[in-house]
Amino acid sequence: MSHCRPYSGTFTGEAGPSGRIPPRSEIPQEYTWNLEAVFPSADEWEESFLLLGGEMERLGGYCGRLFESPETLLEFLKLEEAASERLGKLYAYAVMKSHEDTADAARQARADRAGTLLAAYGAALSFYRPEVLAAGQEKVNGAIEGCSALGKYRHHFDDLLRTAGHVLGLQEEEILARSGEIARTPENAFSLLTNADLTFPVILDEAGRETELSEERYYLLSRSKDRRVRKDAFEGLFTTYGKYRNTLAALYSGSVKSDLFYSRARKYPSALEASLHGDNISPSVYSMVVDTVNRNLDALHGYMALRKKALGLEELRMYDLNVPLADEPETRILYGKAVEMVTDGLAPLGAEYLDVLKKGFSSRWIDVFENQGKRKGAYSWGSYGTHPYMLLNYNGTLRDVFTIAHEAGHSLHTWFSHAGQPQVYADYTIFLAEVASTTNEALLLESLLEKAPKEEKIFLLNHYLDQVRTTVYRQTMFAEFERETHSLAEKGEALTAELLCALWKELNERYHGPEMVLDDALSVEWARIPHFYSAFYVYKYVTGFAAAGCLSSNILRGGEEERRRYIRFLSRGSSAYSLDILREAGVDMTSPVPLEQTLRSFREKTALLEELLEQGS
């Protein structure tokens, strides 16, 4: 899910926003999504809600009976798919409807009911996995051989049975399930402490006005052209976290110990292997990411030197990394023009892709503009049996054009996946989730760079380089931190605030290189990263970015065969393991080659940006 800045004005047609934020009633219908295609009315949603209750009851009746006969198993799977499709529509409609106006109590209540229904559905089907695992491979194979219609579920069953060696007895599983709420305590406490209890100081903005610092405001302040503002925001934020470093270290240590507890209970060699097992990823892939990026740290050091020179600084500090080296073009891009830019940028994907893209733009798949009470940011969503939907808050900036391309990538991945797969494989994995969206951004970037005037080209190159810095280098640094902390804990080391701060400082010194002067306050930055409470997740941002860079390069250099392979990639859903799906598309993420290609592009674009900056000096 990506985020774009909302526009702060009323809709005035294609001239763009101005003045107050409009009520939804003032947004022309063609710029709103058509949720009536899912349920024509709230009454029909209610009728479907009641029908699902009956379907859940019937599904529960299969408990203990799944392997009475192959036909019984098939009956259950077909009923479950129909019920799951209904549930997906109920949940997606309710939540997206609530996002149209988050202040509407009736819509929020319906979304809450949908969430409760989702949990109840999971509980009603909780018998399925244990029953299949208890049956074992031989009985499952026998059922498939006895009923040819079960053949399409073979990968589904193989993937499920792959975990058999890490599933315990019924009583032990119940204990682990009940312990889940306790295990979430560190994350919940971290969220409450950092979102509700921490208070940050007041600083002065560029105009000398008092501004209360917050996590939400920090990013914008860190982009200020006034270095004093950036420094004050940096020190205000990190000094505050530093006051609570011992508490935050205890919370993070508790989260790591929870990871260790579950990995050991399920007989995994390490917490890392336990985390990667679900995607059938070897720890060697994780190590490849860290090792490859470490071999190419000199490229990041070179970009740090360029930043220091471009900003005219005697010393480069961490609070100098977000300030743009060029202003974003001020000319407002009309939404129609943005659609045209995205369509042109994605032309290398071919007619089949563009036909679906244009259908999405013209058939009300997208909720375009901000209105009073609308959810902020941007996302792509939908469910099996519906077309995808996109929520935007389009503001006419170049960044917003990239957001359209990004979310369109998610939406068309969903569309092709749903069209190409039965429901059991229709949803792609998290490992693949950012590949299509980032491929679209890469293609759009190359298209815009070809036509951009010099100042816009500088902005685009800066935008790309900072994407690599924050997505490839920074997330790999996060991944290395997680691997080291879990390894230390597995050896019996205590994760004290002193140890964590020292490790964080060492990583930042190594990654950012000799041009960076590190302030002591930065050492506590680990304490503000929420992703660390979902261990070993962030490396997927790196693999997704690298895979997308490889795919976009193949598409731009290739022809019909490369387009065909890409459409097939989009159509595969989860019908095979993620690494195999990428390999079919021409990307081997067990190899360092895709990541090395991304880092080579980073070097080339750093050199091009330096050349353009020198021309203007």
The single residue of 407, 434, 480, 482 carrying the catalytic annotation is: 407
Q: Which residues contact 617 (CB under 8 A, 6 or more apart)?
A: none
Within a domain: residue 37? yes
Judged against a pLDDT cut of 70, whether residue 17 lies above it is answered with no
Share of the chain above pLDDT 90, in %: 88
- The reported pLDDT for the residue numbered 15 is 37
Q: pLDDT tens digits, residue range 586-610?
A: 999 999 999 999 999 999 999 999 9
Rounded CA-CA distance 478/289 in Å is: 12
pLDDT tens for 164-203 read 999 888 788 888 888 888 899 999 999 999 988 999 999 9
* pTM of the full structure: 0.92
Residue 101 lies in a domain: yes
Nearest-angstrom CA–CA distance, 34 and 227: 46
- Residue 3's pLDDT band (cuts 50, 70, 90): very low
How much is the pLDDT for 341? 98
pLDDT per residue as tens digits for the range 267-319: 999 999 999 999 999 999 999 999 999 999 999 999 999 999 999 999 999 99
Q: What are phi and psi of 202, to 5 degrees?
A: -90, 135
pLDDT value of residue 178: 84
List Cα–Cα distances, 499 to 190, 196, 508, in angstroms. Answer: 19, 27, 14
Number of residues in the chain: 617
Q: How confident is the model at residue 76 (pLDDT cuts 50, 70, 90)?
A: very high
For residue 178, the enclosing domain spans 30-182
Q: Is 407 a catalytic residue?
A: yes
For 325-366, how does the pLDDT look when each residue is reduced to its tens digit (9 = 90+)? 998 888 899 999 999 999 999 999 999 999 999 999 999 999
Give the Cα separation of 428 and 446 in Å (integer).
27
The CA-based angle 348-354-357, given to 5 degrees, is 130
Separation of CA 376 from chain center: 16
Q: What is the pLDDT of residue 117?
A: 94
In eight-state DSSP terms, residue 268 is -
Question: Which range, of 214-223, 425-434, 579-588, averages the lowest pLDDT?
Answer: 214-223
Find the mean pLDDT for residues 248-260. 98
* 16 — pLDDT class (breaks 50, 70, 90): very low
What is residue 177's predicted lDDT score, i.e. its pLDDT? 81
Cβ atoms 515, 305 nearer than 8 A:
yes
Q: Is 344 part of a structural domain of the chain?
A: no
| Residue 462 CB neighbours (<10 A) | 22
Q: Structure tokens of 242?
A: 């530093």
Flag whether 73 is in a domain: yes
Query: φ and ψ at 204, to 5 degrees?
Result: -100, 135
Tell whether 8 is covered by a domain.
no
Q: What is the CATH number of the domain that holds 69?
A: 1.20.140.70
What confidence score (pLDDT) does residue 43 get? 96
Q: How confident is the model at residue 7 (pLDDT cuts 50, 70, 90)?
A: very low
Residue 427 CB coordination number (10 Å): 17
For residue range 367-400, list pLDDT tens digits in order.
999 999 999 999 999 899 999 999 999 999 999 9
**Secondary structure class of 423 (helix, strand, coil):** helix
Determine the Cα–Cα distance for residues 253 and 517; give it in Å rounded to an integer.
29
- What is the count of structural domains for the chain? 1
What are the tens digits of pLDDT across the range 467-505? 999 999 999 999 999 999 999 999 999 999 999 999 999
pLDDT of residue 617: 54
Residue 18 pLDDT exceeds 70:
no
Mean pLDDT of the chain: 94
CA-based nearest residue to 303, from 507, 510, 602: 602
Element (H, E) at 307: helix 297-310
In the predicted structure, residue 9 carries a pLDDT above the cut 50: no
